Each structure stands twice: as structure tokens, then as C-alpha cells.
Amino acid sequence: MILVPVTYKGGIYRHDEIVDLIEDVGGYIIQKHFVAQEVVLQALVPRDDIELIRAIGKPLMGDIIPASLVGTEIAVVTMSLEIHHLPHASCDVAEYIRRNGAKTNMVGLARGFGKRIAQLNDEERDVINEHDLAIFMLGNFEMCIEKKLPVLRRGIDVPIVVCGGPSKEALQKIIDPPVSGYVGNVGRFMHRTKESDEIEKLEEIVAEITRVLDIRREEIAKDPLSVSPARLMDIITEQIPDIQDVTSPTPITVQVAGLRIKLPYDMFAGSVRECEIENGITIGAVADVMPSRMRDYILVRIKPFSDTNLVV
């Protein structure tokens, strides 16, 4: 069964029927939120059942659209949290990616600005490495990007997509060794992105991220995960009732090959490890349950089949 990431948007009235339907056909709801009279569901659904969900959702004013980034957690790395970089361009990019289903976290570097003085500290590095992908929002000058990027990428082992003012070709030329993705002509700007060419640029960023993540997913497919992250999310939601009390929009964030559980590590790591998936196989047997560097959250990294000889 191939699960496809989608977004369902529809009226609140009878939306629980859609929720039940997605679960009945074997899909997973990653995120559910209400916007006025509308409900937005980010979900992974079986490819063959998309038309069925669309048909049932139609009388409820609902529509189902592909959302390539559902089930991913992306770090938007901005050089600082000063007015120079926020809200434009960093928030514009983060918000647009979110619309495509990703869970984005803004990582504002303490000393990311400048050419010679730019730095990345160990906490920032570790937090970025907990994501599926990092987008580096860089500035307008080739010279600065060339000089500072080697410092900023040191120790980062997740795929990096670089956004910068110079053209894509110029970025490819100056960045050595290469990063996973490049989007040119998106450097520092201080106005809201609303013109059609600017929206196209945001689309280009989404396309580049999707391309990079597809490569990651293909790599994972060669040595599949012992359990699907979305399934693990369902199991944890069912077996650890305290997760219901977490007020965060995504108490459990689904990643490409893991989860972030927003419960204190010290108190809940043991219970997470002991959660049974099926036939006595616990989460501890198929995944590493580690402390996250983001607050005191729990990070779950699912082991591949080659490590566990198990697929549940």
C-alpha cells in the first residue's frame, strides 16, 4: 500500500466522517486544525483511495489536494531573529512551506550574521540535525555566502537547501562541496512576497525541497524503516494518554524517518520504549528513543530493516 501525502480542506460539519474514512482505509492523520468554519487535515492516505475520499468529501464542501511535504519536519535557518531577516524573507518561506504540509521550525542563529564573524554553535547544529532538511536563508552577496557557508554547514548532516540572492548557477559555482539543493534570487529582502514572480520563487523552493526529500525517501525505500513513522504516531497517541494534554499544535511531529514527541524525556522515555506495536514488539526494539536538544522533548529515530530484521 503506497501512502500519498495530501491536504484535505473542507467544512467542519461532518468532517469526522472524513477522519474516520481516512483511518478506515489505512491512512494516517498527521495534523488537524480548524480555521474558522474550515478544517484542514494533513494526512497520508493510500493512493488508490484518494478518489473515494474526494467523492465523499465533495458534498461536505471538501477537497483533497496533493501536499508533497506532509510528514516532514524542516528547519528554516535564518541568520538572526533581527528585523533584517524577519518577517521577510524567513517567515514568508517558512509559512509557504507549511502550506504544503511540512512542519517548519525557525532556527534563528545567535551569531549567523556577517561575513567574517558568522558562527554556528553546537546547540544550533544539533537542533538542525534533528530535522529532515535545513533551508539556509542567506544574503545577497556571493562573496559573503562563499566565505560564511563553510562555517555554518560544519557538522550539519541533514540535506541542506541554500537560498541566496545570487542566481542558482552562481550559488552552485561558489558552494564547495555542493549542498543538496539551491534556490537563487531569494536573498535578503524586506517586503512581503505577494507579486506573482515572488510566489513562483516560493513554489521553486517547495519544488527543490520536494526533490531533495524524494531522494531521501528513495534511499530509505532501499532499506525500509522497521515501522512507518505515521503508524508509530498513532500507537503513541493511543498508548500514552498524556500526549492529549500537550497544547502544542503538533504534540507528535512526524518526520521522514522518526518522530518528535513533545513530552519530557525523563518522565516519558521509558513508557515510549515500552509501547507495544504488535505481537510483543515494542518501540524500543525498532527505534532509538533519545533526548532532543529542542527543549526536553523526546526524539525517536526509527531503525532500518537491516538493523532490526523486522518490519511491523
Partner 1 sequence: MGALDYFVVECPEPLGGEYYQRIVSTVLQDHDLVRVVAKIHVFIDPAVPIFVATGTTRKLPGLVSIRDFSDLKIEDHKVTISIANEAYLAPLLKILWDRFGQARVDQPDRLTIIMPLERDESEGLPDVVVSDPSEALYKDLIYAMQAIAPEGFKVRRQYYGNMKFYYVASENTLDEEINPLLSEKFRLMGESL
Residues 179, 208: Cα–Cα separation, whole Å: 12
Binding partner 1 (rule: CB under 8 A), the pick from 40, 54, 141, 275 is 141
Q: Whats the size of the chain, residue-wise? A: 312
For residue 210, the minimal CB distance to partner 1 (Å) is 26
Amino acid at site 217? R
Q: Please report, for residues 58, 78, 177, the alpha-carbon distance to residue 194 in angstroms, rounded to integers and kept in the order given.
A: 30, 20, 34
Output the CA angle 287-291-181, nearest 5 degrees: 75
Binding partner 1 (rule: CB under 8 A), the pick from 37, 121, 167, 306 is 167
For residue 34, the minimal CB distance to partner 1 (Å) is 33
Residues 73-92 that bind partner 1 (CB under 8 A): 79-80, 82-85
Q: Which CB, 115 or 125, lies closer to partner 1?
A: 115
How many residues interact with partner 1 (rule CB under 8 A)?
Answer: 26
Q: Which CB, 108 or 291, lies closer to partner 1?
A: 108
For residue 191, the minimal CB distance to partner 1 (Å) is 5
Q: Which of 43, 19, 18 is nearest to 30 (CA)?
A: 43
> Quick one: which segment of 26-34, 38-46, 138-146, 290-298 binds partner 1 (CB under 8 A)?
138-146
Q: Is there binding between residue 187 and partner 1 (CB under 8 A)?
A: yes
Q: Which residue has the cell 519530557?
A: 264
Local structure of 273: helix, strand or coil: helix
Binding partner 1 (rule: CB under 8 A), the pick from 129, 140, 172, 271 is 140
Residues 101, 298: Cα–Cα separation, whole Å: 22
Q: Is there binding between residue 117 and partner 1 (CB under 8 A)?
A: yes
Residues 265-294 that bind partner 1 (CB under 8 A): none
Q: Which CB, 11 or 187, lies closer to partner 1?
A: 187
For residue 203, the minimal CB distance to partner 1 (Å) is 20
Task: Give per-residue burial for 135-163: e unless 16+ CB within 10 Å, then b.
Answer: bbbbbebbebbbebbeebbeebebbbbbb
> Quick one: which segment of 184-192, 223-231, 234-242, 297-305 binds partner 1 (CB under 8 A)?
184-192
User: Please, where are the H alpha helices in the chain?
Assistant: 15-24, 50-57, 90-99, 122-129, 142-152, 168-174, 196-222, 229-239, 265-274, 283-286, 305-308
Q: Is there binding between residue 119 and partner 1 (CB under 8 A)?
A: no
Q: Is there binding between residue 310 and partner 1 (CB under 8 A)?
A: no
Amino acid at site 49? D
Q: Is there binding between residue 163 and partner 1 (CB under 8 A)?
A: no
- The residue ranges that bind partner 1 (CB under 8 A) are 79-80, 82-85, 113-118, 139-144, 165-167, 187-191
